[in-house]
Structure 1
Amino acid sequence: MQEVLSTQDLAPTSRARAARLVTSEGFQRVVVGLILLNAVTLGLETSDTVMAGFGPVLEFIDGALLLLFTAELALRIFAFRGRFFRDPWGIFDLLVIGISWAPSGGDLAVLRSLRVLRVLRLLSVVPSLRNVVGAMLAALPGMGSIVLLMGLMFYVSGVMATKLFGESVPEKFGSLGDSIFTLFQLMTLEGWVDDIVKPALENHPWALLFFIPFIVISTFVVLNLFLGVIVESIQTLRETRESADAGAAQAATDAAASAAHADSGMLLSELRALRAEVAALRAERG
């Protein structure tokens, strides 16, 4: 019975120590360093020359790093238990490490290339990267409206371009699908003058009246709307966290002031009691 009690007493202490370890700044720096080392080794494995000279060494390092990442993940699960599986970043790390352990031979050889996903664990380890990802996820509803607007604009412009330039430039605007793809290339400004605009201008001198407004709206307006939504989301998230930190600091200040007031009241009560005793003693002597 004594042995069971000692084991039960030891378990929470061990989990607390593990939690303090995995959340410590030094431990996080080591994990970041290992992830960066893994990123370098995975990049070197793409070179045939490097693999010919150091292939076994790189494979050994990759296997050792996978074991270390697995041990780190197991330590976090031991420390936090159920809370680990309620954390989206914990599930993300678990999936990334699980994919790395999947067999990579035969038909599953493509999974070997997915080992590079371990580099994405920087998103869950570095707080600033987590903040950016959180802001982007929070911006998805607003971005969805912009995507809908862009899709509507591409569809309407694609139909117009097909009817206007389909016969003269069939390789670019021969069908609705070709027109939408060409308009997407036009939005990226990749070879838009020589490949798209000039062939259309040969038969339609007024074609710039269609292409220039489309470029202005799609490239300089709609894409900047995406950036605006993301920046606003990051700013809102930052203000929310600053407000939460300020609220916590104010609560701590109020608690300290309340405690000091309580101590002052207690001291005042003791002084009054002492004065009453002194007055009673003087009355007895008198």
Structure 2
Amino acid sequence: MKCDATWRHAEHFNRRDVVFHNYVKRLTKNWIFKAFIFTTIVANSLFMALETDYKLANKFYLFFDVVEQLFLAIYTVEFLAKLYVDPIKYWKIGFNVFDFIVLSLSFIHRFLPPSYKRSLYWFHVVRPLRTLRTVSFIRGLQVLSTALVSTLKSVCFVLFLLFLLMTVFALIGYYFYGRQDNGDFKNWGNLRSAFFTLFSLVTLDGWTDLQAETGKLGFTSSRIFIIGFILLGCFLFFNLFIGVVIINIRETSKEFNKGVQAERETTLIQKKQAILQRQQSHITDLMEKQKTSQFESFSEMVEKFKQTLRHDDYVLLDDLCSSLSFIDIYLTSLDEQDNTLYKLQQLYFETAYILGNLLEVDRHQERSEKKDADASAKAN
């Protein structure tokens, strides 16, 4: 509890550089900045592809090195800007952590001595990983990558079940067809060969040739064995794997859409709060100006102004209400008002007429019911 409170306090610490912080925040959220970083990543990928040409890499070594430093500087500025905007929330996003790891490994590879670079040649793998940063700029790829990561747990369970199934069939195949004298010792002679054979059956790679070889040795039951394993290992578990992936993608898409909707609602609330604060500050300024004037209130100012008016004062009619266009619009509005009143009167008349008819019908029914009641009473 104390740790959570510390984190919440750290997320809402007061800044002294509010103006510059807001400027950097707007800059990092701007689509132009994001498009520039995305273009940089694509350009970096193209230059890495050009460096694979041995002749170009040797001929323009200095140029490629300068361009690499330029890309590294742009990534560093992006990292520092995002970290400056929100140093706590930055580490809560997985894509940001991935960007930081790739950037850190790039710096390590950059400043390593040449002797270490030869021994740690696998550091070159870090540079192509920058291409994966494009995932953080495309929401569809974000949903797909997040779904794939969340699917790993379920996929591990499916693979474990497949491993158990392969173990059972490998032992059965070893005991039935793995005899060294008259069996298929090449494919079923030991567990390692049996597992490799079953893996080829899962991928449906050359299973007909395998069945033909086993059939030539006189094992008629091999057809049932191989086809049964294909039905279980390939069709059943493969479709189960696809179903798990689809379910996780659907759930991740729903959560992602909820997050996007929550972000939109938060942005809308912030805009409303900003408008209300601006209106409140404007009203406060007006109230302060009114207090500093010679009148205590607006009504007092109006009453004071009325006392200065006289009936014989000259009035300049150079105003909107005295223009020809205003008079034309005003007269047209009066005509429309008269037409509306006439239509309302007609509706009232029709309503009264219908209600009168309904009343007459009710009275007629009451009279007929009363007559029937009197007639039945006399008859009795």
Verify same fold: TM over 0.5. yes
Contact 1:35 1:119 in 2 (8 A): yes
Assess if the C-alpha contact under 8 Å between 1:93 and 1:124 holds in 2.
no
Report Cα offsets for 1:197-228 as digits up to 9, x if no partner. Answer: 33223212432211122222222221221221
The partner residue of 2:251 within 236, 257, 262 is: 236
CA deviation after TM superposition for structure 1 residue 50, in Å: 3.7
1:40-189 equivalent positions in 2, closer than 5 A: 40-103=46-109, 105-167=117-179, 168-189=183-204
Q: CA deviation at 1:176?
A: 1.1
Alignment match of 1:218 (pick from 218, 233, 236)? 233
TM norm structure 1: 0.74
Q: Is this contact kept in 1: 2:143–2:256, CA < 8 A?
A: no
Greater per-residue helix proportion: 1
TM-score, scaled relative to structure 2? 0.58
Root-mean-square deviation (CA), in Å?
2.9
When residues 35 and 246 of structure 1 are mapped into structure 2, their CA distance, relative to the original with a 3 A threshold, is closer
| Alpha-carbon distance between aligned partners in 1 of 2:235 and 2:35, rounded to the nearest angstrom | 40
Instruction: Decide which of 15, 22, 29 is 2:21's aligned counterpart.
Output: 15
Q: 1:197 aligns with which of 211, 220, 224?
A: 211
> How many pairs align?
246
Identical pairs, percent: 22
Asked if 1 retains the 8 angstrom alpha-carbon contact of 2:95 and 2:136, the reply is yes
Deviation per CA, 1:24-80: give whole Å up to 9, x if none: 222222222222222222233233244344444333323321221122111111111
Residues 215, 222 of structure 2: 8 Å contact kept: yes
Q: Which runs of 5 or more residues in structure 2 are unaligned?
A: 1-13, 273-380
Provide Cα deviations, 1:214-249, integer angstroms capped at 9, x if missing partner: 222222221221221121122223334445666888
Match of 1:32 among 27, 38, 52: 38
Q: Is the CA contact 1:201–1:207 (under 8 Å) kept in the aligned structure 2?
A: yes
Q: Residues 163 and 239 of structure 1: is their aligned pair in 2 closer, same or farther, counting only changes over 3 Å?
A: same
Q: Which residue of 1 aligns with 2:320?
A: none
1:92 maps to amino acid: F
**Does the CA contact (< 8 Å) of 1:166 and 1:175 recur in 2?**
yes
Residue aligned with 1:139, SS = helix
State the distance in 2 between where 1:127 and 1:51 align.
35
User: What residue number does 1:259 align with?
Assistant: none
Residue type at the aligned position of 1:85:
W
Cα 1:60/1:159, change in 2 over 3 Å: farther
Unaligned segments of structure 1, at least 5 residues:
1-7, 257-286
Higher relative contact order (CA 8 A, sep 6+): 1
Rg larger in structure: 2
